[in-house]
Chain A
C-alpha cells in the first residue's frame, strides 16, 4: 500500500528547532519529487519546500534559510529540519508527492502538528 506517515511534530518554543520525518511505503522516495505543505490553524494550504529526484531543493521565501529538506534513501524517508522557529510556523505539516506522473499531489500524509509557543 502506498502511504506517507509524518512524525516529529510537537510544542516548541520560539527560536527552537524541530525535525519532521515522513516515512514512505509502497514507493521509493528518491525516485519521486517530494514536497512539504503546511496549513496554519483555520487557514489555507501553503507550499513549503520540494526536493526533486535529482536532489535539487527549493523553499518558500517564508522559510528560506531556516528550513532544510532532505531525504534518507536507506530509510525511504523525507525530512524537514526546522530551525529558528517562529509563532507563524505553527501549522499542520503535510508531506506530499506525485506518483501518477506530473506535479499534482496525489499522495498526502496525515500531517503532523507543530506548535511554536512560549
Chain B
C-alpha cells in the first residue's frame, strides 16, 4: 500500500497569503496524484487532478505541481472561503490511498 504523508497537518494563515501544502508518497506514483478540498459537513471537492491539471470551475489561485514522490498544492492569495481541510489522493495502484489531511485556518 502506498502511504501519502502531507505536511503540515495544520496551518493558520491570513487572507492574501500564499499557502503551500506538500504530499509525499512512499514510492513513485508518476503523476497519479489528486487534490481535494473538504469544508465542514460537506463532501470533498476535486481541485487538481494528475498533479497539475486544474479541474473545471476551480479558481485559478489553486495550482499543483510535482511528480514521482513529491507533490505540492499551492494557493495563491488565500481567501476566507479557502478555510477547509485539503487531502491528496493517489490512484497509481490499488488500494487508492489518501493523505491524512491538512487543515487550513484563516486568521
Interface residues of A (CB under 8 A from B): 35, 44-47, 50, 58, 60-61, 94, 100, 102-106, 108-111
Contact = CB atoms under 8 A, between A and B. Distances in A.
B99 A106 contact: no
Contacts of A103: 32, 91, 96
B45 A44 contact: no
A106 B45 CA distance: 7
B95 A58 contact: yes
Q: Is the contact region of chain A dominated by helix, strand, or loop, or is it mixed?
A: loop
How many residues of B sit at the interface, in one of the four size bands? 20 to 34
Contacts of A111: 43
Interface of B: 1, 32, 34, 36, 38, 43-46, 49-50, 55-56, 87, 89, 91, 94-101
Contacts of B96: 35, 47, 50, 103
Given A45-B89, A58-B95, A104-B49, 13 more contacts: A44-B100, A45-B38, A47-B98, A50-B94, A94-B44, A100-B56, A102-B50, A103-B32, A104-B89, A105-B46, A105-B89, A106-B46, A111-B43
Nearest to B87: A45
Contact of A46 (B45, B56, B91, B98): B98
A51 to B, nearest CB: 12
